[in-house]
Chain A
Amino acid sequence: MDMFSELDSARGSPKLTDIRAAFRLTGAQRAEAKWGLLFISPWLIGFAIFYLAPMVVSLLFSLYDFTLSAPDEARFIGLQNWSRMLFDDPNTWETLFVTFKFALISLPIGMVSAFLLAVLLNSQHLIGKNIFRTLFYAPTMVPLIAAILIWSRVLNPQTGWLNQLIQVTGIQAVGISGLRWLDDPNLIYIAYTFIGLWGIGNAILINLASLQGVPTELYEAASIDGAGWLRQLWSVTIPMVTPVIFYNLVLSVVGLLQFFIVPWVLNLGSGYPEGTTNFYMIYFYKQAFTFQNMGYGATLAWFMFIIGLAITIFLFATGRYWVYYAGESR
């Protein structure tokens, strides 16, 4: 079972009887519970100190006007940070818009590429599968910063190899009037998506493992029914790998919401070109750490948490209708 299907099976709030039962354990059960809690205590303590407490404090911070350089002047201002963020600060919605726009371009390209590459790497007609698998995974091992630095030069309109490669196919790409990947507001998200494609190795791998798990009888049956390759892909393969697609989707959405490093390394979060790279996380960073505006920063962070939670809940709720789990009757 993958992580999220485990989650699905554990779903449901504890019932009152469970709570009562928890306090009525026999001696042996009590001993076992004691050991269990002792073993999980490292995580439990860490969770309390580094997750639960900071989340609560973060929510409290959002009710204060609090600058780190002058902690003594912190004062309670109620919901003013929240109303400023939601109604008076145009940056909130602009940076959210930028983040979502990029996610809507980058997410489908990344997920479809990972799936199709997995199909290719699973093909019975491919010679040298293992070497291909290793090499297609290799860029994912390139440290992200190194990848960004290399891509930023490969995408150079004059000297970069990408434009020179495109030029070979007859399209005018090189030069001032060519494809200015990192300077053109219309191309910037595609350029960032390219960089992201160097990180889809994990998605390829779990897609691949899932493809290998599809029972061959299903293909044989479909083949007897006269289904061609494309039809088999659509009606057998894709439904069978929906759990993996779902898993990748949730992790990608959460990751993209926090998109930060690429624009930071390329232009220190200046938003260049024309504000198209003012991502929400960059704005949060500036408020919280550049301006040391802890109260407002905490508000922005909590808002991001709420949005992420809403999307995750939405995905899990709709996932019931399109994610197929073997052995479940619907």
Chain B
Amino acid sequence: MAEKKKKNDALTEFEIARRRRNLLLQAAITLGALVLLGVYLMPLLYGVVTSLKTKAQSADPSAPLLPSIAITFDYEGKNYDVLQVPTEAGVHEWALVKKGRRASQFVDPGNPDAGIIDWEGNWRALEPVWAPSVQWDNYPQAWNTIDFARLLFNTLVYAFVTMFGTVIASSCTAYGFARFNFPFKNLLFMVLIGTIVLPPAVTLVPTYAFFVNVLGWGGTWLPLIIPQMFGNAYNVFLLRQYFLTIPKEMEEAAQIDGAGRIRTFVSVILPQAVPALTAVSLFHFFFAWNDFFGPLIYLAGNRGANPITVGLTEFNGLYSSETQLILAAAIISMILPLAIFFLAQRVFIQGIVITGVDK
């Protein structure tokens, strides 16, 4: 009896030690992940915080971390900077009224009637007094300066027009590869996948010469839109994988009912494939939102047609010292993609996994 109890004690002791070890491991790993995530996302936080600062603060290394402004004080109708002034009685926050090389004159904002205070020392060595202040105005200012409404309109039109084109073409192609046998099917499929590793540069020069010189489409969106109306390898692959999982019986039933191939595809297959179609549409939307090289070369000289990417880049070149406005514009440009991602992440993540992992 006593022996058995001893054994039980040993067991629970072992169990307790195991649980404690697990708990410790959980805490350590979660904490480590938290620190790593903090460092990884730090630039994002920096971007948001700095976009709410004044230009002066964003360029001042000794300024506070959070959005603030240097305090000033109105004295006899004029505006003076408030500085931190060290004296024998401690540090005072005084407004600098008259600057001098060796000695300056101050006024105490708390007691301006006391008049001018003389202080000996170099005022240039004094730090300003900061008070928290958030510059929400940077956002409307960035929005207007960059003419974001115009950029957004251009980007959205481009994204949606090409999205419809590429999704329709890709799903037809994917259905062809998923369900039909035809000569050289494997070879053609290999070629299709091969286009993924083909550098676009190798087709770019003649395509550019053709669009711009022969057709005169330089500065328009046509050379960017038309090539995307024919489907692309990633989308075809993803949709084909999805179509392969749809049971053939459903199509056979539709065909017995007298539906033709196209009817079957449109009314049986496509409704079944909504998740995959959504994923492909999202991929394309993000691609279009990010597309830079094409617009850069084809829209050169037509600034009114710029998408967000090229507009932001030009803005950065013209206003490079206005850090707070550039960051505000950058944040504005990421709101829509991030919002869509957070709302649709499940479908989106599934799509990425299908193209990349053995399943």
Interaction A to B: yes
Interface residues of A (CB under 8 A from B): 1-7, 10-11, 13-14, 18, 21-23, 25, 29, 32-47, 49-51, 53-55, 57-58, 61, 68, 71, 117, 120-121, 123, 125-128, 132, 134-139, 141-147, 149-151, 153-154, 158-162, 165, 174, 197-198, 202, 205-206, 209-210, 213, 243-244, 247-248, 250-251, 254, 257-258, 260-261, 264-265, 268, 281, 284-285, 288-289, 294, 297-298, 300-302, 304-305, 308-309, 312, 325-326
Do B358 and A57 touch across chains, with their CB atoms under 8 A apart? no
Query: Given the complex of chains A and B, what is the CA–CA distance between A77 and B30 in angstroms?
Result: 65
**Which residues of B sit under 8 angstroms from A206, Cβ to Cβ?**
352-353, 355-357
Do A37 and B182 touch across chains, with their CB atoms under 8 A apart? yes
Interface residues of B (CB under 8 A from A): 22, 25-26, 28-30, 32-33, 36-37, 39-44, 46-47, 50, 58-61, 168-170, 172-173, 175-177, 179-210, 212-213, 227, 229-231, 236-237, 261, 265, 286, 289-290, 292-293, 296-297, 300, 308-309, 312-313, 316-317, 323, 326-327, 329-331, 333-334, 337-338, 341-342, 345, 349, 352-353, 355-359
> Pick the contact of A301 from B173, B202, B293, B356 — CB < 8 Å?
B202
> Pick the contact of B327 from A43, A44, A149 — CB < 8 Å?
A149
**Which residues of B sit under 8 angstroms from A258, Cβ to Cβ?**
199-201
Q: A143 with B308: in contact, given A35-B261, A39-B173, A213-B358 (CB under 8 Å)?
A: yes
Q: A46 with B292: in contact, given A51-B198, A281-B201, A308-B199 (CB under 8 Å)?
A: no
Distance between A229 CB and nearest chain B CB, rounded to angstroms: 11
Query: Given the complex of chains A and B, what is the CA–CA distance between A305 and B139 in angstroms?
Result: 43
Do B313 and A33 touch across chains, with their CB atoms under 8 A apart? no
Do A308 and B197 touch across chains, with their CB atoms under 8 A apart? yes
Do A138 and B338 touch across chains, with their CB atoms under 8 A apart? yes
Do B197 and A159 touch across chains, with their CB atoms under 8 A apart? no
Summarize A's interface: helix, strand, loop or mixed: helix
**Which residues of B sit under 8 angstroms from A40, Cβ to Cβ?**
172-173, 176-177, 182, 188
Do A205 and B191 touch across chains, with their CB atoms under 8 A apart? no
Do A46 and B229 touch across chains, with their CB atoms under 8 A apart? yes
Query: Given the complex of chains A and B, what is the CA–CA distance between A298 and B203 in angstroms?
Result: 8
> Pick the contact of B175 from A29, A33, A39 — CB < 8 Å?
A39
Query: Given the complex of chains A and B, what is the CA–CA distance between A285 and B297 in angstroms?
Result: 9
> Pick the contact of A261 from B206, B292, B323, B331 — CB < 8 Å?
B292
Do A14 and B184 touch across chains, with their CB atoms under 8 A apart? yes
Do B202 and A302 touch across chains, with their CB atoms under 8 A apart? yes
**Which residues of A sit under 8 angstroms from B188, Cβ to Cβ?**
40, 44
Do A161 and B43 touch across chains, with their CB atoms under 8 A apart? yes
> Pick the contact of B46 from A142, A150, A243 — CB < 8 Å?
A150
**Which residues of A sit under 8 angstroms from B176, Cβ to Cβ?**
35-41
Q: List 17 A-B contacts (CB under 8 A).
A: A11-B190, A39-B180, A40-B176, A42-B170, A42-B172, A42-B173, A44-B188, A121-B33, A125-B28, A136-B37, A145-B309, A146-B330, A150-B46, A153-B50, A158-B61, A213-B357, A260-B293
Query: Given the complex of chains A and B, what is the CA–CA distance between A11 and B190 in angstroms?
Result: 8
Q: A51 with B195: in contact, given A141-B334, A247-B356 (CB under 8 Å)?
A: yes
Do A312 and B186 touch across chains, with their CB atoms under 8 A apart? no
> Pick the contact of A32 from B59, B181, B196 — CB < 8 Å?
B181
Query: Given the complex of chains A and B, what is the CA–CA distance between A39 and B323 in angstroms?
Result: 51
Do B206 and A125 touch across chains, with their CB atoms under 8 A apart? no
Query: Given the complex of chains A and B, what is the CA–CA distance between A5 and B333 in angstroms?
Result: 37
> Pick the contact of A36 from B41, B181, B192, B293 — CB < 8 Å?
B181
Do B169 and A46 touch across chains, with their CB atoms under 8 A apart? yes
Summarize B's interface: helix, strand, loop or mixed: helix
* Residue of B36, B181, B209 with highest tally of chain A CB at under 10 A: B209
Distance between B40 CB and nearest chain A CB, rounded to angstroms: 7
Do B333 and A145 touch across chains, with their CB atoms under 8 A apart? yes
The 9 tightest CB contacts between A and B, nearest first, are: A46-B230, A36-B180, A39-B176, A206-B356, A22-B183, A40-B176, A54-B203, A36-B182, A42-B169
Do B180 and A33 touch across chains, with their CB atoms under 8 A apart? yes
Do A5 and B201 touch across chains, with their CB atoms under 8 A apart? no
Distance between A138 CB and nearest chain B CB, rounded to angstroms: 7
Query: Given the complex of chains A and B, what is the CA–CA distance between A34 and B196 in angstroms?
Result: 26
Q: A149 with B173: in contact, given A4-B193, A46-B230, A250-B197 (CB under 8 Å)?
A: no
Do B286 and A141 touch across chains, with their CB atoms under 8 A apart? yes
Query: Given the complex of chains A and B, what is the CA–CA distance between A14 and B243 in angstroms?
Result: 26
Query: Given the complex of chains A and B, what is the CA–CA distance between A43 and B331 in angstroms?
Result: 37
**Which residues of B sit under 8 angstroms from A284, Cβ to Cβ?**
201
Do A42 and B231 touch across chains, with their CB atoms under 8 A apart? yes
> Pick the contact of A6 from B36, B193, B300, B334 — CB < 8 Å?
B193
Do B41 and A135 touch across chains, with their CB atoms under 8 A apart? yes
Distance between B71 CB and nearest chain A CB, rounded to angstroms: 21
Query: Given the complex of chains A and B, what is the CA–CA distance between A146 and B46 in angstroms?
Result: 13
Do B345 and A254 touch across chains, with their CB atoms under 8 A apart? no
Do A134 and B206 touch across chains, with their CB atoms under 8 A apart? no
Do B60 and A159 touch across chains, with their CB atoms under 8 A apart? yes
Do A288 and B205 touch across chains, with their CB atoms under 8 A apart? yes
Query: Given the complex of chains A and B, what is the CA–CA distance between A48 and B85 in angstroms?
Result: 76
Do B352 and A202 touch across chains, with their CB atoms under 8 A apart? yes
Query: Given the complex of chains A and B, what is the CA–CA distance between A94 and B32 in angstroms?
Result: 41
**Which residues of B sit under 8 angstroms from A161, Cβ to Cβ?**
42-43, 46
Do B237 and A3 touch across chains, with their CB atoms under 8 A apart? yes
Do A2 and B358 touch across chains, with their CB atoms under 8 A apart? yes
Query: Given the complex of chains A and B, what is the CA–CA distance between A178 and B168 in angstroms?
Result: 54
**Which residues of B sit under 8 angstroms from A128, Cβ to Cβ?**
30
Do B201 and A47 touch across chains, with their CB atoms under 8 A apart? no
